[in-house]
Amino acid sequence: MEPEARLQAIAEVWRELLGVPEVKPDDNFFVIGGHSIKAMQAVVRLRRVLDTEVQLADFFRAPVLSDFAELLGGRVAEDAHIA
């Protein structure tokens, strides 16, 4: 998945889960209404949508959307390199 498509897919999951009208690349998951339970729900959805490993700790490592997408993008690249 291309970086922009990944960012948009994550933003859509966050938007639906948090019930906000829009999620921008510089939005922080916790500032726009997220909390640990919502993050756990997002993990399940994102694993399905992105078909990659997503961990609860990722939300604390990179709570800003653009950073979160980059973190997961690096993981996808590592998975592809290993396979």
Task: For residue range 61-82, list pLDDT tens digits in order.
Answer: 999 999 999 999 987 655 544 5
Residue pair 28/63 in contact (Cβ under 8 Å)? The answer is yes
pLDDT tens sequence across 9-59: 999 999 999 999 999 999 999 999 999 999 999 999 999 999 999 999 999
**pLDDT for residue 1:** 84
**pLDDT for residue 76:** 61
Percent of the chain as helix, strand, coil, to the nearest 5: 65, 0, 30
Cα(8)–Cα(10) distance, integer angstroms: 5
Q: What is the CATH number of domain 3-76?
A: 1.10.1200.10
